[in-house]
Amino acid sequence: MYVFSRLTRHKPSVACGYLLPQCADSTDPEGAAWIVTLPPKPKDNPRKSRPIRYSSRSNAKDLRVLQLTDIHVDFQYLPGSEAQCSMPVCCRDNSSKPAQKAGYWGTAADCDIPPWTVEHMLQHISQSHQIDAIILTGDYINHVDWQYSEDEHLVALRKLQNLIVKYFPSTPTYWSLGNHEGVPVNSFAPHFVEERFWPTWLYNQLKNMSSPWVEGNVTNRQISKMGSYSTMMAPGLKLISLNTGFCETTNFFLYLKQSDPDGTMSWLVRELYASEKSGDAVHIMAHIPPGDGECLEGWARNYYRVVQRFANTITAQYFGHDHNDFFIVFYENMDDVNSRPVSVGYAAPSVTTYSNLNPAYRIYTLDASNRYVPSNFEVYTTDLYKYPTANDNPEWNQLYSAKEEYGLPDLSPNSWNKLINQIYTETSTRNTFTKNSFRSATPACDAACVRGLLCNLRMGHHNESLYCSPPKAYLLTNRVP
Ligand SMILES: [Zn+2]
Ligand SMILES: [Zn+2]
């Protein structure tokens, strides 16, 4: 109501555009047409001309980084309850005769994951892998978003934080915010609106969770202002945690003014420019991939331009939000998929089972001798159907290892781009990719759903007619087994 009353007073065309996209003013520099200023490119390729500060050091060691995304832990999960309920989220309300009983360790249905399964997974990871750092790319809260409150969010976030500290007390742990951290869901008020809407409570909690791995006055100011921050993850490697609440299509505050919310995009540019000059590599962790349907095109185009400009500095991008496992290739020309691939973003599989998914986690190996470019990653999952009761002990097994599974020589943008072409043209590669994306050989995903998944691979921004060109014959006739 607050947004509507301000819009109708000052910007009737924006109010109309909010309701009907076709009447939005696409040239409004405070709306979808905003443009962040980029510094000029260095004359020489910085890879060749600038000193690479640490990566050639013989004692620099490769890093093993755990990515957990979209945990959506449900503290009210109820084993034995109805898993096929009529509500958007099931497995939490008692029913005398459930059509499908919620399993003890979780259910691949419209259900979020119980806290004891998250704990089982964390314990397993701590006992089976050597982890140098953890990145958490948002959406920690359950999907029962009509009941959200700030107090309950804080309780859930603190419980999750304690669980991670319990198993990884001395592992640097970095958090990003997801759209489900907002109250109401997807709301992240920029500071140009009245103070009563500011998500100060959430940004303070992010500061708390990030401590002691992210600290200092500058970083704390970044978090308080934007819900984003930068920190050195290793010598020569900067990590930027980016708040993509500022690209959410239903973060209604953005319809008052879309351009550079709280200066976040220009801050990102300054951080990257400083790293380019110093020769540091940068990894970006964020929740919503820019080409996602829930991300505003104004943000997506600017983010894409930033990735193009700093393609030599950004050596990895980590996302979540989709719950399916996929990747996104960015190109030299954002409207030409035949132009040179310049960067790749990794959208990791969710920990939650929502919807119809097995829980999963991912571990990257970052190559210290090559600017911490990921040299490989593995995905691990468990098959919940095999473990219905409390007496079962779920096994977490490797689902796939990227290089070996797809025969990639490396994890360069060029190699991923070639893989996209294989996925589009070879049935066996496409089936392998789809199986991995859903953690199931028989996903609940029809042809339209698979088409959406395949389109994601080139959707660094929203241009479906240019980017979405998997073979039409397949898309119209085939169904996933
Ligand atoms: Zn999510
Ligand atoms: Zn999300």
pLDDT, tens only, 26-44: 678 888 899 999 999 988 6
Among candidate residues 265, 291, 295, 277, the one with its CA nearest the CA of residue 238: 277
Ligand 1 centroid–CA 243 distance in Å is: 14
The per-residue pLDDT for range 227-267, each reduced to its tens digit, is: 999 999 999 999 999 999 999 999 999 999 999 999 999 99
The pairing of beta strand 173-175 with beta strand 229-234: unpaired
Q: Has residue 404 got a pLDDT over 60? A: yes
Same domain, 12 and 154: no
Largest CA distance in the chain: 71
Structural domains in the chain (count): 2
Instruction: Establish if 316 belongs to a structural domain.
Output: yes
User: Which ligand lies nearest to the CA atom of residue 141 in the structure?
Assistant: 1
Angle at 421 between CA 416 and CA 422, to 5 degrees: 90
Cα 309–chain centre separation: 21
pLDDT confidence bin for 188, thresholds 50/70/90: very high
The per-residue pLDDT for range 95-113, each reduced to its tens digit, is: 788 999 999 999 999 999 9
Q: Which of 354, 385, 412 is the last residue of a domain?
A: 412
Cβ neighbours, 10 Å, residue 22? 7
Instruction: Establish if 273 belongs to a structural domain.
Output: yes
Cα 128–chain centre separation: 25
Ligand 1 centroid–CA 358 distance in Å is: 14
For residue 180, give the 3-state DSSP assignment.
helix
Residue 304's alpha-carbon distances to 148, 191, 301, 320, 342, in angstroms, are: 32, 24, 5, 17, 11
pLDDT confidence bin for 7, thresholds 50/70/90: low
User: Which ligand lies nearest to the CA atom of residue 180 in the structure?
Assistant: 2
Residue showing tokens 């500095």:
313
Instruction: Establish if 267 belongs to a structural domain.
Output: yes
| C-alpha–C-alpha distance, residues 453 and 469, integer Å | 12
| C-alpha–C-alpha distance, residues 394 and 407, integer Å | 30
Ligand 1 centroid–CA 250 distance in Å is: 15
Which of these ranges, 18-27, 123-132, 343-352, has the smallest mean pLDDT? 18-27
Is 129 marked as a binding-site residue?
no
Point out which residues pair with 346 in neighbouring strands: 318, 327
Ligand 2 centroid–CA 355 distance in Å is: 13
The per-residue pLDDT for range 310-345, each reduced to its tens digit, is: 999 999 999 999 999 999 999 999 999 999 999 999
Same domain, 16 and 73: no
| C-alpha–C-alpha distance, residues 24 and 137, integer Å | 31
Contact 377, 363 (CB under 8 A): yes
Ligand 2 centroid–CA 53 distance in Å is: 36
For residue 282, give the 3-state DSSP assignment.
strand
Look up the domain containing 27 and give its range: 7-31
| C-alpha–C-alpha distance, residues 179 and 24, integer Å | 24
> Looking at residues 446-463, what average pLDDT do you find?
89
For residue 274 the two structure tokens come to 């400083």
Ligand 1 centroid–CA 117 distance in Å is: 17
Instruction: Establish if 236 belongs to a structural domain.
Output: yes
| C-alpha–C-alpha distance, residues 140 and 183, integer Å | 13
Record the pTM: 0.93
pLDDT at 451: 86
Q: Has residue 427 got a pLDDT over 50? A: yes
Instruction: Establish if 87 belongs to a structural domain.
Output: no
For residue 297, give the 3-state DSSP assignment.
helix
Ligand 1 centroid–CA 54 distance in Å is: 36
Task: Determine whether 364 is exposed, middle or buried from the number of CB atoms within 10 Å of its CB (0-12, 13-18, 19+).
Answer: buried
Same domain, 175 and 277: yes
| Residue 195: φ, ψ to 5° | -60, -30
Instruction: Establish if 459 belongs to a structural domain.
Output: no
Same domain, 223 and 171: yes
Beta strands in 337-394 (DSSP E): 341-347, 360-367, 373-381
pLDDT confidence bin for 82, thresholds 50/70/90: very high
pLDDT at 13: 55
Same domain, 55 and 22: no
| C-alpha–C-alpha distance, residues 420 and 345, integer Å | 13
Percent of the chain scoring above 70 in pLDDT = 88
Q: Which of 397, 412, 427 is the last residue of a domain?
A: 412
Q: What is the mean pLDDT of the chain?
A: 91
pLDDT at 282: 98
pLDDT at 449: 85
End-to-end CA distance of the chain: 46
| C-alpha–C-alpha distance, residues 450 and 458, integer Å | 14
Of the segments 40-54, 244-258, 444-458, which one has the largest average pLDDT value?
A: 244-258
| C-alpha–C-alpha distance, residues 113 and 69, integer Å | 13
Same domain, 15 and 118: no
C-beta contacts of 89-97 below 8 A and 24+ residues apart: 89/142, 89/143, 89/144, 89/354, 92/144
Contact 295, 249 (CB under 8 A): yes
Residue showing tokens 């095999």:
386
Is 262 marked as a binding-site residue?
no
Q: Which of 412, 440, 459 is the last residue of a domain?
A: 412
Contact 336, 375 (CB under 8 A): no
Is 417 marked as a binding-site residue?
no
Same domain, 255 and 124: yes
Ligand 2 centroid–CA 471 distance in Å is: 29
The per-residue pLDDT for range 265-294, each reduced to its tens digit, is: 999 999 999 999 999 999 999 999 999 999
Is 124 marked as a binding-site residue?
no
Amino acid identity at 314: I
pLDDT at 59: 66
Same domain, 279 and 172: yes
Q: Has residue 16 got a pLDDT over 80? A: no
CATH of the domain at 327: 3.60.21.10
Instruction: Establish if 417 belongs to a structural domain.
Output: no
CB neighbour list of residue 259: distance below 8 Å, 6 or more residues apart: 29, 30, 31, 34, 298
Same domain, 59 and 183: yes
| Residue 89: φ, ψ to 5° | -125, 130
Instruction: Establish if 445 belongs to a structural domain.
Output: no
Same domain, 270 and 400: yes
| C-alpha–C-alpha distance, residues 424 and 433, integer Å | 10
User: Which ligand lies nearest to the CA atom of residue 349 in the structure?
Assistant: 1
For residue 458, give the 3-state DSSP assignment.
coil
Give the chain's length: 481
Same domain, 170 and 24: no
Q: Has residue 464 got a pLDDT over 70? A: yes
> Looking at residues 42-64, what average pLDDT do you find?
63
Same domain, 13 and 51: no
> Looking at residues 4-29, what average pLDDT do you find?
59
pLDDT at 47: 54
Contact 307, 336 (CB under 8 A): no
pLDDT confidence bin for 452, thresholds 50/70/90: confident
pLDDT at 96: 82
The dihedral region occupied by 422, where left means phi > 0, alpha psi between -120 and 50, and beta the remainder, is: alpha
Q: Has residue 64 got a pLDDT over 50? A: yes
Could you please report the per-residue DSSP string of 82-129? BSS-SSSS-SSS--SS-SSBPPSS--SSS--B-HHHHHHHHHHHHHH-
